[in-house]
Amino acid sequence: EAQVTQNPRYLITVTGKKLTVTCSQNMNHEYMSWYRQDPGLGLRQIYYSMNVEVTDKGDVPEGYKVSRKEKRNFPLILESPSPNQTSLYFCASSPRRDSYNEQFFGPGTRLTVL
Amino acid sequence: GENVEQHPSTLSVQEGDSAVIKCTYSDSASNYFPWYKQELGKRPQLIIDIRSNVGEKKDQRIAVTLNKTAKHFSLHITETQPEDSAVYFCAANDYKLSFGAGTTVTVRA
């Protein structure tokens, strides 16, 4: 089944404890992206990648890192999480090397930072 | 960067009536405008999109209109049904996809 998967789906952690949220897609998509969703703010892009080893900042990149060592995986890293990073996170992928077409979203990861 | 404003933030309609959601954008270079639907607890899913060389697009009960001169676009849902209840997001793309804040649509039976 063609899909985008994220792990974990739910995570409660404490301030400063490094964490990684994994994202994987099996559709051979070129473009991958991370968003955070907060009430009243919609979906805001954190980072995106148009190809392996190519990543770029979105609108809210502070406090986050990403890597794209393989085409299928695009992990999101929080080196030192803070409470303002409590949010619902979505990974998404798209077939071409841009975002001018349908984004396929993962199921989401709900992160709480205490 | 692109700034997308979406109105209204909440919308309650009687089943069978129409619903209209409006969005404005700031960057005249934007040329791709998708709409996503997010049901409660689910992921966003594309329901319709329009590109800047088209003024209107329709898919069954859903239509989107685009006015590039005024920099606004709208989603129209006709004959609303309970399963249309969800959060709807508009977005605009210059070189990055920027989303509006969302509209919570409730269809009353």
Distance between A15 CA and the closest CA of chain B, angstroms: 26
Is pLDDT above 80 for A99? Answer: no
* CA distance to B68, B79, B94, B99, per residue, from B52 (Å): 7, 27, 11, 17
pLDDT for A16-75, tens place per residue? 999 999 999 999 999 999 999 999 999 999 999 999 999 999 999 999 999 999 999 999
Q: Are the CB atoms for B3 and B98 separated by under 8 Å?
A: yes
Q: Is the pLDDT of residue A82 over 90?
A: yes
- Token pair 């509006």 in the structure block, residue: B100
Chain B residue set in contact with A, beta carbons under 8 Å: 1, 6, 9, 31-32, 34, 36, 43-46, 49, 89, 91, 93, 95-102
| pLDDT of the residue at A26 | 96
> Residue B32 is nearest to which of A33, A44, A100, comparing CB atoms?
A100
Of B6, B43, B96, the CB nearest to A99: B96
Q: Per the CB < 8 Å rule, is A100 touching B31? A: yes
* pLDDT tens per residue, range B25-58: 999 989 999 999 999 999 999 999 999 888 999 9
Q: What is the pLDDT of residues B76-89, one digit of tens each?
A: 999 999 999 999 99
- List of chain B residues whose C-beta atoms are within 8 Å of the C-beta of residue A98: 95
- β-bridge partners, B90: B35
pLDDT of residue A105: 97
DSSP 3-state of B79: coil
Q: List the single residue in A33, A41, A102 with the smallest CB-CB distance to B46.
A: A102
Mapping DSSP to helix (H, G, I), strand (E, B) and coil, where does residue B82 land?
Answer: helix
Q: How confident is the model at residue B94 (pLDDT cuts 50, 70, 90)?
A: confident
